[in-house]
Chains A and B, each alone.
Chain A
């Protein structure tokens, strides 16, 4: 008998990839939960506001698993998590909740799942910590803490980076890129969800998700630039990075807000916030041996992941 799996936030990058992966499993019957109807989804879907507990309760009735991929505005994330927990109490499905490595905040060094949750790097991280604490009260839950999810079309960690590399706004950052890029391929993330659903002993567990022996950000940028053909890689100096964080980022953010109010959509250049630039320096390594051991994950090698991502960008062009 197939397990019914409701994916909240199925319109996002991870949600879509997860829907594809679940659809390929003979023992899963995925249903996408979308905010608004989409003709491009290609999977069974329902459309409702996931922050509404009444709506949620109605839709998770009879559902075996709910995967919470909602990852946007901190307030929306918190409200939807509260609504989910409230709805789940009467139905009791397994919840697979996507948290983030952001819960570790500004911590450095090797961090396994028992490391303290600082969440001291902004509202998003803080919200993720709060939600994890809420989730702790629900026994049939699995919490996943992925690092930076990359892969073909990943808006944050592949497509944005590709555009910045091609524009020579990213490259070899010197000391500013010495931090560890805790990358995890989107296929591995989907595999983690599927393994978690299939293994009852994983209920109540928390898993870091990040590739083994992660590269530094500099290595990631240089390798990706080579895969993209965005060579020679440019060395970006400290002054240029300061300008990115303090001048270009605020200007582009304001522009993004203004453009968002327009009836037409404009493709603005990506920007690098000061928080993102700090991440490139952060010497933090997620220890993900538990996911290897208990979820049976084998991480996709970076070279293959980058080649696929570069190919996607090329085809998009």
Chain B
């Protein structure tokens, strides 16, 4: 049942077995995982069925260095479906090595192993509509695929792993009907404002929530799960200081620390000496109709030997802003910049001003590339705009064998990279967040060394050259700042409350019935985009909650 909290009489008290806060990828997956349990599940969502400016504005906050981090209300959506409503759809599982404590990645190591998550990846893949859980091109495809780079020596990088693309699935639209199960109640426009604890601080007794219309209500439940995202969860824990003076789960000042996104950028120029037509940088479509893309992934044994974080790279079109690429489609995209959303435009275009001479050059490219542009426009209309499963991104095949390198790397957990509270408050009286995102020298080392290995492999293989300025790596890897809207690690799981916020079951240390879900609990970021693992971990949590003994509560 889906209803609106604005219609509740003021001071209503609701009862449930499980109360979930936040209807995004984590909250919806968790509710779906509990839908057959027979327990009564109450899912509180701040937003409505569509984006609403006043609700979205509740995400407004402060960024210490705006050059390194996007505004706090970008890359996340406060509405039914959460940020899946603007999701790009890239699904990638974590690798087994990501779960290990690595001496060269400070603060790394999960309290659970890969196998613990792997049990839930197939079901997570289904929920994300990314086909069967097989991320190796050699086994996922029964037909032979065109080699990505024929003759490339894969001693450091493998071209076998791939990413799969969701439709992308908007969890609100997709699971709306399934969430209408009789034991699930979804309450829209319900903003959590207070987590009430027992006097000893060991249990949550109730949640208090308000709507922007002014009415308030409370929820009593056996268990409470915050699925509000890696930033908002920090805010909710830190804002509640009436029992625990530093905030819930924050006796050791860990909440909000270790904040990670991903380190990403576009680098240099690859010039293939092999026939350009033999290079493949596009998507392969699986039998189930899933768009899959291979990439160059740094092998785990190389990561260990070289002491690097995880790193993947894709062949990318040349830098759009520089018209010397001579490509009409890229120049046309540049000219269409005002029509592309902030989240995607940020990566496609740089903020450096473009000269009038370059503008003229772009227009010349557009004029000369008109037939290609028409073909591209038709492809994007048919395969992206009108298609139910959307072509995931702009892929430009180079006729001359010229590409840039698009990379996506792990960010090292660092306690100094953090999310905290500012002094000013939102219209509901909640303190706003302040983000101080930082990276460390290990992050620069991972990217620098990986690029150097790739450059060496290209040359040694005799397939072409990769030219870039090694002195420019740090500038390029931080050009987009904290990348991807992936809010990771702020309420990390671990064995000790001194270095983590939750235990391996995602329960907040010292609070018997408060759980957290989402990428905030990931202790490390991997190179992988987080959504698939968020869903897998939420399904695992659903199983754990159902296994608990509630007799006597």
Contact = CB atoms under 8 A, between A and B. Distances in A.
A281 B288 contact: no
A205 B166 CA distance: 47
A66 B174 CA distance: 47
Contact of B388 (A226, A231, A235, A281): A235
Given A235-B388, A235-B389, A171 B174 contact: no
A281 B177 contact: yes
B interface secondary structure, majority: loop
A232 B388 contact: no
A232 B289 contact: yes
A232 B173 contact: no
A296 interface: no
Contacts of A226: 287-288
A236 B288 CA distance: 12
Given A174-B174, A281-B177, A232 B129 contact: no
A172 B289 contact: yes
Interface in A163-186: 171-172, 174-175, 178
Contacts of B173: 175
A8 to B, nearest CB: 40
A240 interface: yes
Contacts of B178: 175, 178
Given A235-B388, A235-B389, A236-B388, A175 B288 contact: no
Contacts of B114: none
Nearest to B178: A178
A233 B287 contact: yes
Contacts of A238: 388
Range, interface on chain B: 10 to 19
Nearest to B167: A235
B175, B285, B287, most chain A CB atoms within 10 A: B287
Interface residues of A, number: 18
Contacts of B177: 175, 178, 281
Interface in B268-326: 285-289
Contacts of A70: none
B54 to A, nearest CB: 29
B387 interface: yes
A232 B285 contact: yes
A261 B311 CA distance: 68
A43 interface: no
A281 B180 CA distance: 13
A240 B388 contact: yes
A37 B182 CA distance: 53
A150 B101 CA distance: 52
Contacts of A122: none
A238 B173 CA distance: 11
A222 B286 CA distance: 11
Given A174-B129, A240-B388, A234 B289 contact: yes
Pick from A171, A175, A225 the residue with the most CB of B within 10 Å. Answer: A175
B289 A175 contact: no
A222 B289 CA distance: 9
A209 to B, nearest CB: 24
B168 to A, nearest CB: 11
B445 interface: no
B107 interface: no
A235 B177 CA distance: 18
A172 B287 CA distance: 11
A240 B177 CA distance: 19
Given A175-B174, A178-B178, A231 B129 contact: no
Nearest to B173: A175
Interface in A240-260: 240
Contacts of B129: 172, 174
A235 B387 contact: yes
Interface in B361-419: 387-389
A235 to B, nearest CB: 4
A6 to B, nearest CB: 45
A237 interface: yes
A175 B174 CA distance: 6
Contacts of B286: 232
A237 B173 CA distance: 12
A1 B173 CA distance: 62
Interface of B: 129, 167, 173-178, 285-289, 387-389
Given A232-B285, A232-B287, A234-B289, 12 more contacts: A172-B289, A174-B388, A175-B174, A222-B288, A225-B287, A232-B286, A232-B289, A234-B389, A235-B289, A235-B389, A240-B388, A281-B177
27 contacts: A171-B289, A172-B129, A172-B288, A172-B289, A172-B389, A174-B167, A174-B174, A174-B388, A175-B173, A175-B178, A225-B287, A226-B287, A231-B287, A231-B288, A231-B289, A232-B285, A232-B287, A232-B288, A233-B289, A234-B289, A235-B167, A235-B388, A235-B389, A236-B388, A237-B387, A237-B388, A281-B177
